[in-house]
Amino acid sequence: MSKAVRIHGYGGPDVLRWEDVPLPEPGPGEALIEQKAIGLNYIDVYFRTGLYKVSGFPAVIGQEGAGLVVATGQDVHSVAVGDRVAYAGPLGAYAGSRVIQADRLVRLPDAISFETAACIMLKGMTAQYLLHTTYKVRAGQTILVHAAAGGVGLLMCQWARHLGVTVIGVVSTEEKAALARDNGATHVVVGTQSLASDVKRITAGAMVPVVYDSVGRDTFKTSLECLAPLGLMVTYGSASGPVPPVDPSMLSAKGSLFLTRPSLATYTAKRSDLETSAGDLFSVIASGAVQAGLHQSFPLRDAAAAHTALEARQTTGSTVLVP
């Protein structure tokens, strides 16, 4: 037997139950990992509440982890027993041990600890594709990043600074503002009441070419107001709730804007893209340009407390669950 946090239905943090589960065996193309650290992500909240659906109950949620390969099924050539590995994507991370498709695993360089990997695989590869592919930022540009003191947010601030990009971060408290500044945001706006006019002042009227908005419902319209003509609105998360349907004519009225709703799964679907993204990430972490930002850790059995803190906006940076 093994231990896992499972849900038997959608709901509040109390649906997360610490249970005995059968130790799974890897099938063809799969590997069994003994997990050492698991990443907490806002997407875990969406799966717990039912905003995103699991395929059936009981379900083990969680999409980010790191550990040791302890067994492999047939036709696995990319990893071997004893390898230190990590992943972002397939559901099932909230467990002491888990089976996963081997082609979703990347080997960890010696310099990257299990805890660091559990902080960065999902959030860091997200920062990588948002800054390099969804919109390819260029040195000298000014960009807007919501939830700038959060898990993805702190990585975005640091990585953008490393690329010579000026970040305007948006946060909810002065403490978070200080943290965002320490991590590379040049300007920080606390609250969104006058965000468009703050951005106008900071950019001397130019506004920004791209907004990275992970808050969703509460900030979507305000974010559009912050864009320069032909700017790109990247709505990549729904921490405040999903964005309601959008009338495309709104985009033309605000200056022929572009809109995208990207997901990490698409950007790392091909093995070559996964390797490029993870490789870029490991190199900025190894060089020290970007710090993983482990700010909280909880025993896995206390996943409910971790969810409560995340939803109450009490966490900053990354949070790890320890099996």
Residues that bind ligand NDP (rule: CB under 6 A) add up to a total of 30
Task: Give the integer Cα–Cα distance in Å for 136 and 221.
Answer: 23
Burial of 252 (0-12, 13-18, 19+ CB in 10 A): exposed
- DSSP codes, 3-21: EEEEBSSS-SGGG-EEEEE
The residue among 166 and 238 lying less far from ligand NDP, judged by its C-beta, is 238
Among 179, 215, 284, 320, binds ligand NDP (CB under 6 A): 215
Least distance to ligand NDP, CB of residue 285, Å: 16
Contact between 41 and ligand NDP per CB under 6 A? yes
Query: Do residues 13 and 57 lie in contact, with contact meaning Cβ atoms separated by under 8 Å?
Result: no
Task: Give the integer Cα–Cα distance in Å for 323 and 319.
Answer: 13
Task: Give the integer Cα–Cα distance in Å for 219 and 233.
Answer: 11
Contact between 263 and ligand NDP per CB under 6 A? yes
Contact between 79 and ligand NDP per CB under 6 A? no
Least distance to ligand NDP, CB of residue 172, Å: 3
Least distance to ligand NDP, CB of residue 192, Å: 9
Q: Which two tokens stand for residue 57?
A: 């109950």
Task: Give the integer Cα–Cα distance in Å for 37 and 175.
Answer: 27
The residue among 107 and 217 lying less far from ligand NDP, judged by its C-beta, is 217
Least distance to ligand NDP, CB of residue 295, Å: 9
Contact between 13 and ligand NDP per CB under 6 A? no
Segment holding 190, helix H or strand E? strand 187-190
Contact between 313 and ligand NDP per CB under 6 A? yes
Which bin fits 210, alpha (ψ -120 to 50), beta or left (φ > 0)? beta
Contact between 153 and ligand NDP per CB under 6 A? yes
Contact between 42 and ligand NDP per CB under 6 A? yes
- The position carrying tokens 């700017």 is 231
Question: Among 28-36, 198-206, 262-270, 297-305, which window interacts with ligand NDP (CB under 6 A)?
Answer: 262-270
Contact between 177 and ligand NDP per CB under 6 A? no
Task: Give the integer Cα–Cα distance in Å for 208 and 226.
Answer: 6
Contact between 67 and ligand NDP per CB under 6 A? no
The residue among 51 and 80 lying less far from ligand NDP, judged by its C-beta, is 51
- Name the 3-class secondary structure at 72: strand
Contact between 49 and ligand NDP per CB under 6 A? no
Least distance to ligand NDP, CB of residue 156, Å: 9
Least distance to ligand NDP, CB of residue 238, Å: 6
Which residues are within 8 A (CB) of 226 and not within 5 positions of it... i.e. 6 or more apart?
Answer: 144, 195, 196, 199, 207, 208, 211
- What are the residues binding ligand NDP (CB under 6 A)? 41-43, 122-123, 126, 147, 149-153, 171-172, 176, 214-215, 218, 236-240, 262-264, 310-311, 313, 315
